[in-house]
Amino acid sequence: MVKDAVATVLDPSSIRWISFSHFEADECGALREWQTIAPDSVAACSLVSKEVSVDDVVALRPSRAMADGECLETGRFSFQFLRTPNVPHCWDASLLFEQTGRTLFCSDLFHQNGDVEPSTSSDVVGRFRQMLLDYEAGPFGGYLQYSDTTGKVLAQLADLAPETLAVMHGSSFVGDGRQALMDLSVAMRETLDGA
Ligand SMILES: [Fe+2]
Ligand SMILES: [Fe+2]
């Protein structure tokens, strides 16, 4: 299903770069299959992802370890790599900021439950806060954590002033990304600090 959707945008066999935030099945579990379809593709990820898990478990060929702040140029787009340990979660976490269109690829940040629209300009932080409350009350508690470090990372992301927040689980947000990230930080602190 995802492959068919990708094929509406470009020939899947021509993919050169595959990136993701952290080593989890929903982030990179299909890397081997994608690299089989795209014989010249290379995974771009954090050094910790590469060394601790990705090259040993899911990559068909050596991954490219990105340095914090380094840009991956693809021709039309420039993806800045941001090392963000434990944001959204996991030691190896990172995020990408596409500088041309000012799009932040958010991974699990702004996660919303339910069958929601692909993108919206309405507030998504309320949905995110509800997801956190639901998860904390059930067997998926501990999904995200909040500390002073988390707050600093989210402030740095806000300073990028993204115009689109590309959300992995839920609606992507088009609008004032700076304010949305500051609101997200408040929602995480109020819901999770000391949880
Ligand atoms: Fe995750
Ligand atoms: Fe996820």
pLDDT at 82: 98
Ligand 2 center to residue 165 CA distance, Å?
Answer: 15
Which amino acid makes up residue 111?
H
Q: How many helices (H) and strands (E) does the chain have?
A: 8, 10
For residue 1, what pLDDT is reported? Answer: 84
Q: Write down the pLDDT at residue 76.
A: 93
**Ligand 2 centroid vs 131 CA: distance in angstroms?**
13
> What does the pLDDT read at residue 61?
97
What is residue 195's predicted lDDT score, i.e. its pLDDT?
57
Looking at the CA of 94, name the nearest ligand. 1
| Cα–Cα separations (whole angstroms), residue 96 to 43, 44, 142, 151, 167 | 13, 10, 24, 18, 12
Q: Identify the H or E element spanning 104.
A: strand 103-105
Q: 84 C-alpha to center of ligand 1: Å?
A: 13
CA of 144 to the centre of ligand 1 (A): 9
**pLDDT for 75:** 93
State the ligand closest to the CA atom of 89.
Answer: 1
Which residues, given as ranges, of the chain have pLDDT below 50? none
**94-98 and 103-105 strand pairing:** antiparallel
pLDDT for position 194: 63
